[in-house]
Amino acid sequence: MNTERIFINQLLPGQTLDQVFLVRDKDLRTTKAGGLYLMCTLADRTGTIPARMWQVSESIHNGIAVEGFLHVKGRVEDYKGSLQFIIDACRPFPADKVDLGDFLAVTKYDVEKMWAELLEILRDVKDAHLRMLLKKFTEDVAMVTAYKRAPAAMTMHHPYIGGLLEHTLNMARAAKALLPLYPQLNGDLVLMGIFLHDIGKTAELSSGTSLGYTDSGQLVGHITIAAIWVAQRAAEISAQTGQPFPARTVDLLNHIILSHHGTLEFGSPKLPMIPEAFFVHYLDDMDAKIWMTTNAIDNDPDTNATFTPYLKQIEARVYKKSREL
Amino acid sequence: MNTERIFINQLLPGQTLDQVFLVRDKDLRTTKAGGLYLMCTLADRTGTIPARMWQVSESIHNGIAVEGFLHVKGRVEDYKGSLQFIIDACRPFPADKVDLGDFLAVTKYDVEKMWAELLEILRDVKDAHLRMLLKKFTEDVAMVTAYKRAPAAMTMHHPYIGGLLEHTLNMARAAKALLPLYPQLNGDLVLMGIFLHDIGKTAELSSGTSLGYTDSGQLVGHITIAAIWVAQRAAEISAQTGQPFPARTVDLLNHIILSHHGTLEFGSPKLPMIPEAFFVHYLDDMDAKIWMTTNAIDNDPDTNATFTPYLKQIEARVYKKSREL
Amino acid sequence: MNTERIFINQLLPGQTLDQVFLVRDKDLRTTKAGGLYLMCTLADRTGTIPARMWQVSESIHNGIAVEGFLHVKGRVEDYKGSLQFIIDACRPFPADKVDLGDFLAVTKYDVEKMWAELLEILRDVKDAHLRMLLKKFTEDVAMVTAYKRAPAAMTMHHPYIGGLLEHTLNMARAAKALLPLYPQLNGDLVLMGIFLHDIGKTAELSSGTSLGYTDSGQLVGHITIAAIWVAQRAAEISAQTGQPFPARTVDLLNHIILSHHGTLEFGSPKLPMIPEAFFVHYLDDMDAKIWMTTNAIDNDPDTNATFTPYLKQIEARVYKKSREL
Amino acid sequence: MNTERIFINQLLPGQTLDQVFLVRDKDLRTTKAGGLYLMCTLADRTGTIPARMWQVSESIHNGIAVEGFLHVKGRVEDYKGSLQFIIDACRPFPADKVDLGDFLAVTKYDVEKMWAELLEILRDVKDAHLRMLLKKFTEDVAMVTAYKRAPAAMTMHHPYIGGLLEHTLNMARAAKALLPLYPQLNGDLVLMGIFLHDIGKTAELSSGTSLGYTDSGQLVGHITIAAIWVAQRAAEISAQTGQPFPARTVDLLNHIILSHHGTLEFGSPKLPMIPEAFFVHYLDDMDAKIWMTTNAIDNDPDTNATFTPYLKQIEARVYKKSREL
Amino acid sequence: MNTERIFINQLLPGQTLDQVFLVRDKDLRTTKAGGLYLMCTLADRTGTIPARMWQVSESIHNGIAVEGFLHVKGRVEDYKGSLQFIIDACRPFPADKVDLGDFLAVTKYDVEKMWAELLEILRDVKDAHLRMLLKKFTEDVAMVTAYKRAPAAMTMHHPYIGGLLEHTLNMARAAKALLPLYPQLNGDLVLMGIFLHDIGKTAELSSGTSLGYTDSGQLVGHITIAAIWVAQRAAEISAQTGQPFPARTVDLLNHIILSHHGTLEFGSPKLPMIPEAFFVHYLDDMDAKIWMTTNAIDNDPDTNATFTPYLKQIEARVYKKSREL
Amino acid sequence: MNTERIFINQLLPGQTLDQVFLVRDKDLRTTKAGGLYLMCTLADRTGTIPARMWQVSESIHNGIAVEGFLHVKGRVEDYKGSLQFIIDACRPFPADKVDLGDFLAVTKYDVEKMWAELLEILRDVKDAHLRMLLKKFTEDVAMVTAYKRAPAAMTMHHPYIGGLLEHTLNMARAAKALLPLYPQLNGDLVLMGIFLHDIGKTAELSSGTSLGYTDSGQLVGHITIAAIWVAQRAAEISAQTGQPFPARTVDLLNHIILSHHGTLEFGSPKLPMIPEAFFVHYLDDMDAKIWMTTNAIDNDPDTNATFTPYLKQIEARVYKKSREL
C-alpha cells in the first residue's frame, strides 16, 4: 500500500496507486469483442473517480460490495479530458480496518472538546429528575459514541460526522447566552430539550460507511424514537429508584422534542404549546438556516456569481456579499 | 332521594326532585337587596337546566365543584317560558357512587359483547411476537377497563363512553371482511394496527365525569402515547422471555399507528409507507365519516330540512334523503 | 414472418427477426458522408429497442407513423454494450391485424370472467330506475367493449388494458363485503356509484395502440363525461317509458360520481355530502393505493433495497418487507 | 288591504296595517298565565320586524308557513326602544298573488332591456353550430324566464332578482369592448361561454320567495348542470337536423364553463387550457370583485369610517375613498 | 375634578366621580315614555363600564365623540349585579390635556432607559454609511417620539405604548448576546435591521387615544413604509454629503426589512436570502412568541385551568405549568 | 467582417464566417495528446451553436468573457449530424458597438409608436398631482429609455426587449375600452397604476446582453422598487412646488402597485383593497395569460400535437385548436 494516502482531489494523470477506496456503484459490461469489463465509481471524502478494470470474471464483479471498501492497485489516466482509474488488481477490504475519516466528511471541530463543552453547559440543569435522566443518557456509552458520530441531517445542514454534536452545541451555547434575557423560561427544560431534540437521529441515520436512513428511521422517525427513549429511560430510573418518575416532566420534555419542527407539515405531531418549545424550535431553525446559507456561500464553485444557485430548502438563492458592505 | 331518576328532558313545572346532578358551572351573585344567591347549571346525559338557590353563604358556593356531582332537593319552575330549578338544599355527592351512564352519553351497544367480538377477531393474529404483545395489552386490567370506557374522540365521532371500542370493532369487522380480497396484505399487522391505532386515547381523554383532554394528551398526543406503549411492552416481553423482541415488528406496528391519520397536517408524523398502513388509515377514516354523516342526519332537529347544518369536519352540509330513492 | 413472436426482453445479439413492432419515435439523420439514415425506437409490451436503418429515402421515413405498427426484417446487434436492431427492410402494418396484447400491458385476469362477476354483484341493485339505467349502460355494446379495454388510469394505478374493469370489480367486491356492516347506507346507490364512477375514462383515455388522453378527456375530464352520460341515459329512459325519470336519483348518482375524488384539489367539483359518497371515495382510494404500493414492491428492480424509490403519488418510498415479520 | 303597501323601513309606532308579509320564522310560546301566543318575524325586501299575536290556537300556528306569505291586520308598537307588530288577525296568502319584487331585492336595471342588449351582443356569434345552440337556449321560454329572475349568487355578488342577467351582460359588454384588442381569441367561444357560464344557477338557486340553494344545486352544482345542458341540447339539435353536432364544439364550450372558476379549489374540475377560458374567467372574476367592493363601499352604514368592515371574500377591508383624490 | 383618579377596576357601588373617561361607543335611545336617554361605554386602561344619562338632548349626544374624552360627573350604581355609571353632567375634554397613560396600556419598563440602552447597543455599528443612516433616524425628533410611543402590534404582541421599543430592545439584546457565536454574520446589518425592521409601525399604527391602523398603514403597510424611509434618508444623506450612498447598503438593509416576516404568506414580499435576514427574522419571531405565550399564561383569568384558552396566533392552547417541574 | 450578418438559424455546413457572437459559456479542455482546446457556445437571437478552437493558449481562454461578445473567424462543420463552428481566430468585441437586437429577442411592434400611444392614453389622467407625477417619470430620459427596452418578465410573458412596454400598452388599451363600463372606478388611478405597476422591472432586470436579474432586483424586488420611486418623486415634486404632495394619492397609487400580483403568495405585500386595484390586477393577469397560452400555441415545434407541452405557469397543457371550430 502507498505509505501515505493520496486523496482523489490530489490525483494526477500517470500516478500509480495502491490503496483503499469506497465503492459507490459497479457495473459489469461487455466489450464489442465479447469480453467482460468492470465499470465502477471509487470514492473518498474528497470526491469520486470513475474506474475501469479490463478482462474481469463475473466472480470478481460479484465479490465487490457497493458501499463497501476495495483495495486497488492501478494507475490514473486522462480520458477525454477527465481522469479515470485503471484497476490492475483489487480485493475487498474490511470496514473495521479503515479510517472512516478518510471516506466521510467530518466536522472541522474537535469532537471531544465539543462533547465536554456540551456537558459543561448541561451542568446548569438543576431539576433532580432531569439530572437523573441526563445521566442515563450520558452514561450510555453506545449512545454517546453514536451521538458523537451522527450527522445533524442527511443533506440539509451539518451533514457530516460530528454534525449532530456541532449543531446541538451551537444551540446550547445560544441558549446559555439568551436564557438570562428570558428569565420566565424554564432553563432546565430548554437545555434538556436541546440536548435530546435530535438524539433520535443516532438511530434514524445509519452509521455505516456512508450517510443514509435506517429502515427504522424511515418507518418511525427520529422524533418518535427520541420520545420513546425518554419514556423508557424514565421508566428505568423509576424501576431503579423505586420512586415514580414525574409523568409531567416526561410529558414536557417529550412535548419539546415532538414540537421542535414547529409545524405539522414538517413532521412534528404537536405544535409548540409552551414558551420553552418555541425557544428550542427557533434556536434549532436559526442554526440550521445559518449553516445552510453560510455553507452555500462558502462552497459555491462559481466565485464570480453574486448569488449561489437556488437552494430548495429556503426556496431562494443566497446573496453572497452581505458579509462586507 | 327519588325512587327513580327523572331525567332533565322529562322535567315539568311543579315537580319536586331529590336526586343527583352534574354541575357544569356556578356563579355567586348579589341581589339588589345585597344578599347572596347561587346561579348554576345542572346536567345529566339528556340536557341541562339552570338552577338558582337563594340566600346561600360563600362556603356553600365554595363547596360545590364544577364538573362534580351535587345532591339537590327543590322544585322545577317556569321562568319566562323556560324551566329553571329552585334549590332548597344541596350537598356534594361522591363521584364513585353515581351511575356515570346517567350523566354521560354511552354507546348503545353492549360493551362486553363488543369486547368479546373484538378479541375473537384478534384471534386471527398468527405471528408469535404480535400475539405476545396482544396478550400484554389485553391482560392489563386497567388498560382494558379504560379501553372499554374511552370515547373515540371528543366531538368528531363516537364521542361517548364505549365509543373507542365501538369504532375499533367496526374497523376490525371491516378488515375481517376485506382481508380475503387483498391477500397481499399482512393481516396480522392490519389487525394489531387496528386494535392499537387509537389506544393512546385512553390516556389522551380524561376518564372523569365529562369528556376532556388530559394535560398529557394535549402535550404529547394519543399517537405518540400509543407508540411509546408498544415499545415499552415489547421491552417488557423481551425482559421476561430473555429473547429480543424483533425491532422490525415494533417499527412496523408503530409505523401504522404513527401514520394512521394519513397526512402530516392531521398530526401524523409519518406518511403511510406500507400497504397495511393505507388500509388501516382508510378503514379508520371511512368509519369516522360514516358515523359523522349518519349522526348528523339522525340528530338534525329540523326534520323538514333536506340538508343538515354545515359540518366543519367535512366542510359541507349532509344531504339527509339518500337512504331511499 | 417469424413463426412465433420474440419479445424485446428475449432478444439476443445475432438474432434475425421478421415481425411487427410498434414505433415510438423516429428521426431522419445525415451521415458524415452526407447520406440519410433512420433512427427509431421499436416497442412491444416488454420494452423498447433502438433501431437503425441505413441508406433510407425520405419517402420511407415519411411512410412510418409514430405510434403506428411497422413490419421489419433485420438483425439484433450489440452496440457499446447495449442491443440495437439493424433494419434491412420495413413497411407499415395495419393496426387491425395485430394482437394488441403483444404491444400493450393487459390485466392478468380474465376480462370476461371479471365482467360477469361485476354484473352478478350489480344484480343486487333493487331500485327500478337504477336497474333501468344499469341496463342502458350494460346493453350498450360499444360502451361495454370500451369498458372492458380501458385502463383505470394512465400511470397512477391499474394502467393497462382491462385495468378499469379490474379496479371496479375490486371495489364492487369490497362493497359487497362491507355493506352488511353498514346497513344505514343505500346499497343501490353505492353499487351504481362504483360501476359508473370512472366510466368516463372510456372516453378520457384513448383506445389506440398506446395509452393516452383524448382531447375530450383533457378538456372536459372523465368525471363530467360520466355525469353527462348518466343524465342523457336517464332522459332516454324517460323518453322511452313516457315516465319521468326521478331527478333526485340522477342527482344522487351524479353526486357520487362528481365527489369520488374526495377533495376539490383532486378535481372533484363537489365534496362528498352523503355517506354513500364517502364510502365509494374510500373504497376507490384504498384500492388504488394498495395497487400502487404493491406494484412498487413487486416491480422494484433493486431486489436488495428494503425501500422502493420515491413514489410521487404517495410522497414517500414504500417499505418492501411488511408482508412477513 | 292598505291601498298602498307600507314597507318595513317606513313603519312608525302607532300605524295600523292590513297587508301581506313574508314569514321568516315562527314560534309558539306559553305565557306565565299558561296561555299560548305566537312570536314570528315578518319580512319584505326592506327588512324584518318581530311580530306577536296573543291568544292563538295551535291550529293558527300550524297554518302559518315559514317562507310563506301571511296577510295580517294589526298595529305597530314601540317595545323597549324597538318596533314590533301586534297581529290582530292573520291568514295565509297565496304566493302567486303577491308581487315578488316587494319581498326580494331586485336589480335596479330594466330586465327586458338587459336581455335585449345581451341578445344583441350574442348576435356576433358566427359559428353555425353555436348559433343553433344559442337558439335552443334562447327559445326555451322557461329557461329564459328563469335566466331573467336568477341572482348571480346567494351572497357573494349580484345577489338579487335579475343579478345573473346583470352580471352576464356586464361580462358580454366587456368582451365586446376587449375582443378587438385580442384578435387571436375565438370570439364565438368567448361570447357563448359568457352567456352559459353561470346558466346552471337557474337550477342551482331556488326560485321561491327567498334566495336559496336547491337540493340539486347542492348535490351537483351549477357548473356540472350547465355542462349537462349543453351536451343535451347539442344532442337534441343533432336529432332534429340529422347531422352530428361537432363533439369538439361541445367540448370547448364545456371546457370554458367547467374551468371558469379558475382553480380547482374554487370548484372548477378543470383548469383553463385555452386562451378563451382564461379570458372568460378573468372577466367573471373582475366583474364580481368590482361589485363586491363597490357594494361594500356604498352600503357601509358607518359613513365616518374610511374602511368597510372585513370582507371575507377578499380577505380584506375595502378602502372607501379611492373614487376621488 | 377628583383630586386623584379612581380607575374603573377600583369602582364600588355608591361612589361619586368627577373625572375624565375615554368614550368607546355611544347610543341615543327612547324611553317608553318617549324621552331620550344616552347609553355609552366609558373606558380607561383598566377596563370599561356602561354608562347612562337620562333626559339628554340630541345636541348633547352629538357633542360626544367616540374615541374622544369626556369629563363626567355622576355616581356608580349596581344594576342587575353589575356596575353602571349614571351621568349627571358631562362635557367633552381636550385630548392634549389628559395623561394618555391613564387610558392606554403602557410598557412596564422605563421608556427613556430602554431608548438609551438601545442606542448604546447600536453604537456597535461600524460601517460609516450605516452610522450616518442611524443618525438620520435617531436625530429625527418626531420619529424618535413616535418610536418611543408605538406599540409593537395591535393585538399580537407587545400591544401597548412603548411596546415597539421594548420588543426591539429585546431583539437587540439577543443579537448582542448571539453575534459572538456567529462571527460569519455582518453584525452591522443585523443591528440596523433590528432597529428598523418595524419602524414603519410608527406610521402604520395611529398615535391617537386608542391603538388602531392608519389608512396609510392599511393601504401600504409598515414593511413598505420602512423601505421607503430608508431609501429616502439615504438619498438625503447623499444630497447632503455630495457623495453617493452605496445602493448595495440600502438594498441589503431593505432586504432584511422586507423579508423579516419570513414567508410571503405573512406579508413579506421577499424571502430571506442572506444569513443576517434569517437571524433577524428568528429573533423577531422568537421574542413575539415568548411574549404571546407568557402573556397568555400570566393573564388567564381561570387560575385553576392548566391550559389557557385557544390562541389563534399559535393555533394552540398554552400549557401554563412549564415554569416549574 | 461579413457584409451582412448570417444568423445561427441560417447556417449551413461549409460556410465561412467573420462576425460577432455572444458567448454563453466556455471551457478549456485537454486533448488526448496533451494540447489545449477551447469549447464554447456561441449565440445570437435565433439560437446557439457549439464552437471549438484548437491549440489555444490559456491567455486566449481567459480573455473571453461569458455573456460578452466575441468576434470570430472560422467555418461551419457537420459533426455527428449536428452543426458546430470551428474558430480559426477570435478576439473580444466591445458591447457598445454591437446591435443588441441581433442578440436579444425584441418585440415585433414599433417601440416608438407604442410609447406614443401609451402617452396618448395617459393624457386622460385628470388629477393635477398625478399629472405632475406622470411628467416626472416621462421626462426622466434614462427611465424612459429603460422602460422602452425592458422585458415584461424573464421567462413568464413578453420576455424580450420592449416587452414591458408592449404589455403595459395592452393593459392601457384594455382599461381605456373598459373604463366607460365601470364609471364607479377612478380612471386616473387605474391608468397611473397600469403605467407604473411594473416600472420597477427596469431596475429588477439587467439591461446587459442577456436578460437577467440584478442584485437589487433579487434583494428588493420590482414591486418595492416602484413604490420607493413613487414616494421619492412625490417628495421631489413637493420640494419643487413648495406644496405638500397629497400623501393619500401616493398611498393609493402605491397600494395598486403593491397589490397588483393579487395574492401574498405571489409576492404582493398587500391584498387589493380598492376596486381599482382589482381592476389593474385582472388586466395584468389576463394579458399575461393570453400571451403565455398564445405563445405556447404558436411556438410549439410539434405541429401535429393538439396540445402543447405542460406549462408550469398555468399547471396545464394548452389546447391548440380553439381558434377555429
Of C29, C215, C219, the CB nearest to F81: C29
Residue D41 clears pLDDT 80, i.e. is over it: yes
Q: What pLDDT is attached to residue B209?
A: 64
The string of DSSP codes covering F239-256 is HHHSSPPPHHHHHHHHHH
Q: What pLDDT is attached to residue A207?
A: 57
A106 Cβ partners below 8 Å, 6+ apart? A45, A160, A161, A162
- Of the pLDDT bands very low, low, confident and very high (cuts 50, 70, 90), residue A299 is confident
Please, what is the average pLDDT of chain F?
A: 91
Q: What is the mean pLDDT of residues E172-189?
A: 98
> Can you read off the three cell numbers belonging to residue C24?
415510438
* Rounded Cα distance, E294 and C178, in Å: 51
A184 Cβ partners below 8 Å, 6+ apart? A275, E290, E294, E323
Q: What residues in F contact E255, CB-CB < 8 Å?
A: 219-220
Least confidently predicted of C227-241, D301-315, F101-115: D301-315
What burial class does residue C246 get, using C-beta atoms within 10 Å of its C-beta: 0-12 exposed, 13-18 middle, 19+ buried? middle
* Rounded Cα distance, D286 and D292, in Å: 10
Of D178, D278, D282, the CB nearest to F177: D178
Search chain E and give the residue with CA nearest F218: E270
Q: What is the mean pLDDT of residues F40-48?
A: 88
**Of B135, B193, C118, which is closest to residue B185 (Cα–Cα)?**
B193
Q: What residues in A contact F219, CB-CB < 8 Å?
A: 319
Least confidently predicted of A96-110, A189-203, A262-276: A96-110
Q: What is the mean pLDDT of residues D116-130?
A: 98
Residue with the three cell numbers 387589493: F272
Q: What is the mean pLDDT of residues B80-90?
A: 88
8 Å CB contact of D232 and C227:
no
Distance from CA of F174 to the nearest CA of D (A): 6
Q: What is the pLDDT of residues B233-266, one digit of tens each?
A: 999 999 999 999 999 999 999 999 999 999 999 9
Angle between helical axes of E128-138 and E141-149 (0-180°, round to 10) = 80
Search chain B and give the residue with CA nearest A228: B228
Prediction pTM value: 0.89
Residue E18's CB is within 10 A of a number of other CB atoms, namely: 14
**Cα distance from N-terminal residue to C-terminal residue, chain C:** 51
Residue D30 clears pLDDT 80, i.e. is over it: no
H helices present in chain A, as ranges: 58-63, 111-122, 128-138, 141-149, 163-178, 187-196, 201-204, 215-219, 222-241, 247-259, 275-298
- Of the pLDDT bands very low, low, confident and very high (cuts 50, 70, 90), residue D209 is low
Distance from CA of C33 to the nearest CA of F (A): 10
Query: Strand pairing of D82-93 and D47-54?
Result: parallel
Q: What pLDDT is attached to residue F155?
A: 78
Q: Report the phi/psi class of residue A286: left, alpha or beta, with left for phi > 0 and alpha for psi in -120 to 50.
A: alpha
Residue F78 clears pLDDT 90, i.e. is over it: no
Q: What pLDDT is attached to residue A209?
A: 62
8 Å CB contact of B215 and E307:
yes
Distance set, CA A249 to CA A122, A232, A239, C316, E325 (Å): 17, 13, 16, 34, 6
Please, what is the average pLDDT of chain D?
A: 92
Distance from CA of B31 to the nearest CA of E (A): 7
Chains that touch E (3 or more CB pairs under 8 A): A, B, D, F
Q: What pLDDT is attached to residue A305?
A: 81
Longest Cα–Cα distance of chain F, Å, equals: 78
Q: What pLDDT is attached to residue D207?
A: 58
Q: What is the mean pLDDT of residues B189-193?
A: 98
Which residues does residue A20 pair with via DSSP β-bridges, in sequence order? Answer: A71
Least confidently predicted of B16-20, B212-216, B282-286, C232-236: B212-216
* Rounded Cα distance, F205 and F104, in Å: 14
Structural contact between residues D127 and D188, judged by C-beta atoms closer than 8 angstroms: yes
pLDDT-above-90 percentage for chain F: 68
Q: What residues in D contact B306, CB-CB < 8 Å?
A: 215
Q: What pLDDT is attached to residue E184?
A: 96
Q: What is the pLDDT of residues B141-152, one digit of tens each?
A: 999 999 999 989
Q: What pLDDT is attached to residue D219?
A: 96
Q: What residues in A contact C307, CB-CB < 8 Å?
A: 215, 218
In terms of residues, how long is chain C? Answer: 325
Search chain D and give the residue with CA nearest C224: D224
Q: What pLDDT is attached to residue C33?
A: 66
**Of D186, E82, D195, which is closest to residue B29 (Cα–Cα)?**
E82
Q: What is the mean pLDDT of residues B159-172?
A: 95
Residue B17 clears pLDDT 80, i.e. is over it: yes
Distance from CA of D67 to the nearest CA of B (A): 13
Sign of the four-CA dihedral E8, E14, E15, E18: positive
Chains that touch B (3 or more CB pairs under 8 A): A, C, D, E
- Residue to mutate among B154, B219, B220, B266, with most E CBs inside 10 A, is B219
Q: What is the mean pLDDT of residues F33-56?
A: 87
Q: What is the pLDDT of residues D251-265, one digit of tens each?
A: 999 999 999 999 999
Distance set, CA F200 to CA E234, E269, F120, F197, F216 (Å): 19, 14, 22, 8, 10
Least confidently predicted of C295-309, D249-263, E271-285: C295-309
Q: What residues in E contact D80, CB-CB < 8 Å?
A: 32
8 Å CB contact of E81 and B218:
no
* Rounded Cα distance, C184 and C168, in Å: 23
Pairs of CB atoms within 8 A across B/D? 15
Angle between helical axes of F187-196 and F163-178 (0-180°, round to 10) = 170
C230 Cβ partners below 8 Å, 6+ apart? C133, C196, C250, C253, C254, C257
8 Å CB contact of A317 and F218:
yes
Distance from CA of D82 to the nearest CA of C (A): 41
- Residue to mutate among C80, C84, C302, with most A CBs inside 10 A, is C80
> H or E element: which one contains F37?
strand F36-44
Residue C312's CB is within 10 A of a number of other CB atoms, namely: 9
Structural contact between residues A75 and A16, judged by C-beta atoms closer than 8 angstroms: yes
Residue A50 clears pLDDT 60, i.e. is over it: yes
Q: What pLDDT is attached to residue E209?
A: 64
Distance from CA of C252 to the nearest CA of D (A): 7
Q: What is the mean pLDDT of residues B188-198?
A: 98
Distance from CA of A87 to the nearest CA of E (A): 44
**Of E218, E107, E214, which is closest to residue E168 (Cα–Cα)?**
E107
Structural contact between residues C285 and B282, judged by C-beta atoms closer than 8 angstroms: yes
Using only the alpha carbons of chain B, give its radius of gyration: 24
Which segment, B11-25, B253-267, C48-62, E27-41, is predicted with the most confidence on average?
B253-267
* Rounded Cα distance, E199 and E193, in Å: 10
Of B170, B271, B317, the CB nearest to C181: B170
Distance set, CA B166 to CA A131, B145, B290, E35 (Å): 43, 14, 13, 64
Q: What pLDDT is attached to residue C59?
A: 85
pLDDT-above-70 percentage for chain C: 96
Residue D47's CB is within 10 A of a number of other CB atoms, namely: 12
Q: What pLDDT is attached to residue B291?
A: 97
Q: What is the mean pLDDT of residues A153-165?
A: 89
Q: What residues in E contact F247, CB-CB < 8 Å?
A: 216
Q: What residues in C contact D270, CB-CB < 8 Å?
A: 219-221, 224, 267
Residue C265's CB is within 10 A of a number of other CB atoms, namely: 10
Chains that touch C (3 or more CB pairs under 8 A): A, B, D, F
**Of E218, E312, F261, which is closest to residue D317 (Cα–Cα)?**
E218
Distance from CA of A243 to the nearest CA of E (A): 16
8 Å CB contact of C32 and F78:
yes
Helix (H, G, I), strand (E, B) or coil at B203: helix
**Of B49, B41, B54, which is closest to residue B12 (Cα–Cα)?**
B49
Q: What is the pLDDT of residues F142-201, one digit of tens each?
A: 999 999 999 888 778 998 989 999 999 999 999 999 999 999 999 999 999 999 999 999
Q: What residues in B contact E306, CB-CB < 8 Å?
A: 215
8 Å CB contact of B254 and A227:
no
Q: What is the mean pLDDT of residues D115-130?
A: 98
B301 Cβ partners below 8 Å, 6+ apart? none
- Of the pLDDT bands very low, low, confident and very high (cuts 50, 70, 90), residue F32 is low
How open is the CA angle D105-D111-D114, to the nearest 5 degrees?
A: 130
